[in-house]
Amino acid sequence: MYEKPILQVKHLQKQFGEGCPHCFDKESVYLEKNYCTVCGTVHAVRDVSFDLYPGEVLGIVGESGSGKSTMLQGLYFDSSMTSGAVYINQSELTGQNVLSLSSQQKRYIRNYIYGMVYQNPVDGLKMKFSSIGNIAEKMIAAGNRNVSNIEKRSKELLENVHIPLRRMKEEPQYFSGGMQQRVQIAKALSNNPPILFLDEVTTGLDLSVQASVLDLIKQIQRELHISMVVVSHDLAVIRMLADRSIVMLNGEVIENGLTDQILEDPQHEYTQQLVYSLL
């Protein structure tokens, strides 16, 4: 129990707008959910802190608009955060707030340490490049300049995610949504990243495809021992994947603990409602 977290997130904050004295307090009467009625500021992420341990799957649940994806985009440097700190426990980055690094260093982290699977494959893939090219892109970005080497690794990954190799040169724009999602997963895994972010990976997929994507993620986590942050509004997905979970509402963390515990004995009013609305 003395394990050190691989990813530490401290007091992450993201607001759209200047903010004003009326909305500084989280309990302010001027706040309508996370929207300030006085100055019009939206507090998308408010003071979020959590730790991610090696090999662990952390679930993040919450209704749409609760700030889950915004937070994930902030962690992956797709959008800048207003304030807060993120620490990664990797020798070359110890003690540095990665949010304050230069864009080159951020790109290094994205290419070597992070993997990301977006909710919408359009964000994560180049739809007009071949599937194998999409996977290669990340390896090329990480400095690999050997075609046969890249090809071999890409084929392995495509087999892992059950995409027939005869279709590897096709462009993802001709694939079904589930297949696109699996190409994204293969791409995210290409450099064996220690940390993987999954943003609503199964949303919009049919049940059997959902099951196979979830199976795959579970298998990857077991075999490669990758730490994952799984964002979903689907409690069933969280129940299946996550060891520990965080519940977000209006940009804040309202509950966190073991997934089982949260689902069996929710403490917060919103979580109770959420769990009971589960069919």
- Identify which of residues 103 and 208 has a Cβ nearer to other proteins in the complex: 103
Q: How many angstroms separate the CA atoms of 206 and 29, rounded?
A: 42
Whether the Cβ atoms of residue 79 and residue 95 lie closer than 8 Å to each other: no
DSSP secondary structure letter of residue 17: S
Q: Choose, by CB under 8 A, the member of 11, 26, 152, 169 that binds other proteins.
A: 169
Confirm or reject binding of residue 108 to other proteins (CB under 8 A): no
Q: How many angstroms separate the CA atoms of 72 and 125, rounded?
A: 17
Q: Which residues 141-160 are close enough to bind other proteins by CB under 8 A? A: 141, 145-151
- Residue 248 burial by CB count (10 A; 0-12/13-18/19+): exposed, middle or buried? buried
Confirm or reject binding of residue 101 to other proteins (CB under 8 A): no
Confirm or reject binding of residue 277 to other proteins (CB under 8 A): no
- Identify which of residues 66 and 111 has a Cβ nearer to other proteins in the complex: 111
Q: Which stretch binds other proteins (CB under 8 A): 36-44, 122-130, 197-205, 239-247?
A: 122-130
Q: How many angstroms separate the CA atoms of 106 and 81, rounded?
A: 14
CB of 4 vs other proteins, minimal distance in Å = 31
Q: Which of 50, 43, 91 is nearest to 70 (CA)?
A: 43
Q: Choose, by CB under 8 A, the member of 60, 71, 99, 136 that binds other proteins.
A: 136
CB of 201 vs other proteins, minimal distance in Å = 24
Residue 114 identity (one-letter amino acid): Y
CA 9: distance to chain centroid?
Answer: 13
Work out whether the CA dihedral 113, 189, 197, 117 comes out positive or negative.
positive
- Identify which of residues 38 and 147 has a Cβ nearer to other proteins in the complex: 147
Q: Choose, by CB under 8 A, the member of 11, 26, 33, 107 that binds other proteins.
A: 107
Residues that bind other proteins in the complex, under the rule CB under 8 A: 103-104, 107, 126, 129-130, 132-133, 136-137, 140-141, 145-151, 169
